[in-house]
Amino acid sequence: MNRNLKQYFHLLWQSVLFWSIVMGLYSIFRYYGIDEEEGFTVIKEYSGHQGTIRALIGFTSIGALIGFLYSTIDVLFSKFASIKQSLVYGLIIRTFLYFITTIAVFTLIMDIFSELYGINLNTDQGWWKENKSFWATILYIVMVSFVFSFIKIATEKFGKGVFIKMLLGKYKNPQEEKRIFMFLDLKDSTTIAENLGHFKYSQFIQDCFYDLNEVVPKYDAEIYQYVGDEAVLSWPYKKGLANNNCVDLFFAFQQKKQSKTKYYEEKYGVIPEFKAGLHGGTLMVTEVGVIKKEIAYHGDVINTSARIQAECNKHRVLLLISERLLQDLKIGNYLSSKFLGSVLLKGKQEEVNIHTIDKV
């Protein structure tokens, strides 16, 4: 399956599930037991358990439609909107699109329920303007949207699954994990910085990492940190091996930069080239800090990955991988590997066998 399509379906099911649950809960908050409240006049169809079930089905349907449409808006907006667009401007546009979508969904569902149950629900043009129930629901949706956005931002910050583990306090004490790390570094960065000057060089690095961020989600990678002109990427060991994600990401990033050759040449007069070192194994992960809390990885795996990447210039290649990690990968027909020898990496006592990988 196309990676873009896979990413869309992943977002789609999460959004549909989330909004179906959220709107289902809203129907319970709103209608369950309402017929027992003194002074309330309730439509017969919405009284008792049967009424609650009808409301639950209706609002869950609304939630499923909202989830489908909101996720589609997000994907299309991310694809066609400028990456450098301000957060406020992007938020205003998305909020407007969400609002129009919500009106359309409510109108459709109300029409359907009017036909099914013979209820006279007003869905004439502009019905929503004076409908207090609709605005109460909108307020609820807005509040829940902030929660959803917070979870999404936190997940992007810490990585898939890591945020929930942090909430549960899993990393309060160091935990052992098996992961793959890639150190991705700009080649000839000193020369490029001198030629461009600090301001334009900063823009140059920013553009490079924008391109990297478009590739990263498609290969299930997590960005551990940015250090100057270097990015450190990470995968849980099995995810990094699956479909050769840890290797294919590098070539996808190269292809992305090549597709923008004209842009880089016209704006900066140079095409960025990155070198990478890959290694995997067991290390410790823990939560550090209080004011600026983050997840930190400690162990030989990180040091070895960084030092393997440092060997790229010496061997005049763009991608180096440790033999240990290469043995666990299933190199397809589209890739070829070459043994470059055993090297004693700086600070280590044992030699490490390294290979380079390239596309056939």
pLDDT at 87 over 80: no
With a pLDDT cut of 90, the percent of the chain lying above it is 35
DSSP annotation of 34: G
Give pLDDT tens digits for 185-210: 999 999 999 999 999 999 999 999 98
> How many Cβ atoms are within 10 Å of 359's Cβ, its own excluded?
11
Model confidence at 38, in pLDDT bands (50, 70, 90)?
A: low
pLDDT at res. 170: 80
* Domains of the chain: residue spans and CATH: 3-158 (no CATH), 162-359 (3.30.70.1230)
197: left (phi over 0), alpha (psi -120 to 50) or beta: left
Q: CA 95, 101, 106 angle in degrees (round to 5)?
A: 125
pLDDT at res. 205: 95
- Cα 77 to its chain centre, rounded Å, is 14
Give the mean model confidence (pLDDT) for residues 157-175.
76
What residue type is 173 in one-letter code?
Answer: N
What residue type is 156 in one-letter code?
Answer: E
Distance CA 314, CA 307 (A): 12
Model confidence at 110, in pLDDT bands (50, 70, 90)?
A: confident
Give pLDDT tens digits for 315-352: 999 999 999 999 999 887 788 899 998 887 766 777 88
pLDDT at res. 290: 75
pLDDT at res. 35: 60
Contact 233, 223 (CB under 8 A): yes
pLDDT at res. 154: 74
Output the six-digit token pair for 267. 């704006």
pLDDT at res. 13: 87
pLDDT at 43 over 60: no
Output the six-digit token pair for 138. 């909108």
What residue type is 342 in one-letter code?
Answer: S
118: left (phi over 0), alpha (psi -120 to 50) or beta: left
Give the mean model confidence (pLDDT) for residues 289-296.
79
Distance CA 276, CA 256 (A): 16
- CA-to-CA dists, residue 29 to 25, 26, 34, 41, 140, angstroms: 6, 5, 9, 17, 11
pLDDT at 241 over 70: yes
Give pLDDT tens digits for 267-277: 999 999 999 99
What residue type is 289 in one-letter code?
Answer: G
- Cα 183 to its chain centre, rounded Å, is 20
39: left (phi over 0), alpha (psi -120 to 50) or beta: left
pLDDT at 45 over 60: no
Contact 210, 309 (CB under 8 A): no
Contact 185, 309 (CB under 8 A): yes
Q: What are the residues facing 285 on neighbouring strands?
A: 175, 297
Distance CA 360, CA 255 (A): 14
Give the mean model confidence (pLDDT) for residues 129-135.
84
pLDDT at res. 2: 63
Strands (DSSP E) found in the chain: 175-186, 222-227, 230-236, 274-288, 294-298, 319-322, 335-343, 352-359
Distance CA 349, CA 360 (A): 34
Q: 352-359 and 274-288 as β-strands: parallel, antiparallel, unpaired?
A: unpaired
> How many Cβ atoms are within 10 Å of 149's Cβ, its own excluded?
12
pLDDT at 1 over 60: no
Mean pLDDT, all residues of the chain: 84
Model confidence at 49, in pLDDT bands (50, 70, 90)?
A: low
Q: Where is pLDDT greater, at 230 or 151? A: 230
Output the six-digit token pair for 112. 């359907």
227 φ/ψ angles, rounded to the nearest 5 degrees: -130, 95
